[in-house]
């Protein structure tokens, strides 16, 4: 593995890239070698929730499943926030039981997310994907044990350079999500911001991968 893509919806199947492909229970693809699987707060379907959890519990135990997610909280969602909280908590409890990492989608609900993590006394690694906020929030999340993953916003918003540079090397990942940017492009800019070579960055993220995903 030269590159690790923490979160993508597009399986490219390249030899040099280990892709953690996002999967949903209702459209699971068993040909994808490494994946995360979870119930996204924007796509909670009350009528389908029981079967979604049944599939999730089946697939999360397979060797190709590296994480639960993306799951999380989103105050833009049409699903009532109380339901989102219950769906997320159930997934976090499962992740803790299986000691699986969690990939989190969070919009306007970081305080509630931190409170839930601390209330449940979670020890499994939790990664906020697509981070694009201020240094103060990044510090609060780091202080509470979260990892942060950066992707398209790093390339789109130059103001994120100072935020990214404030993240310790053992607490971040890189991703592409649904963007057209390649993971190589994300690594190149991240290495430039950190003032290191891409090879050095690859080693840092490889170390983080080994820590978080026990590989």
Query: In the prediction, which pLDDT does 210 show?
Result: 97
Mean pLDDT of 135-161: 97
Mean pLDDT of 75-94: 97
Predicted confidence band at 215 (pLDDT cuts at 50, 70, 90)?
low
| Residue 178 reports pLDDT greater than 70 | yes
Could you tell me the residue ranges of all domains in the chain?
3-213
Q: Is 108 among the annotated ligand-binding positions? A: no
Instruction: Name the residue among 207, 175, 210, 204 with its Cα closest to residue 191.
Output: 204
40 is in an annotated binding site: no
The CATH homologous superfamily to which domain 3-213 belongs is Metal-dependent hydrolases (3.20.20.140)
Element (DSSP H or E) covering residue 65:
strand 65-74
Given a cut of 90, whether residue 78 has pLDDT beyond it is yes
Please indicate, yes or no, whether the overall pTM of this predicted structure exceeds 0.85.
yes
pLDDT score of 214 more than 90: no
Determine the average pLDDT of the residues in 100-109.
98
């Amino acid at each position: 593995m030269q590159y690790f893509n923490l979160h993508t919806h597009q399986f490219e199947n390249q030899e040099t890239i280990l892709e953690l492909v996002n999967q949903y229970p209702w459209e699971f693809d068993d040909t994808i070698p490494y994946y995360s699987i979870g119930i996204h707060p924007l796509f909670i379907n009350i009528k389908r929730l029981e079967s979604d959890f049944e599939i999730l519990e089946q697939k999360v135990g397979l060797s190709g499943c590296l994480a639960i997610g993306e799951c999380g909280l989103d105050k833009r969602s049409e699903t009532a926030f109380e339901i989102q909280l219950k769906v997320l908590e159930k997934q976090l409890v499962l992740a803790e039981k299986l000691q699986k990492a969690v990939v989190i989608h969070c919009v306007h609900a970081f305080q509630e997310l931190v409170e839930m993590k601390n209330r449940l006394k979670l020890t499994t690694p939790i990664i906020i994907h697509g981070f694009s906020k201020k240094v103060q929030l990044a510090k609060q999340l780091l202080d509470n044990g979260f990892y942060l993953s950066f992707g398209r916003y790093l390339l789109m918003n130059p103001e994120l350079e100072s935020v990214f540079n404030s993240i310790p090397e053992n607490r971040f990942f890189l991703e592409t999500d649904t963007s057209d940017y390649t993971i190589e492009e994300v690594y190149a800019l991240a290495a430039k911001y950190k003032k290191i070579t891409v090879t050095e960055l690859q080693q840092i993220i490889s170390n983080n991968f080994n820590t978080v995903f026990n590989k």
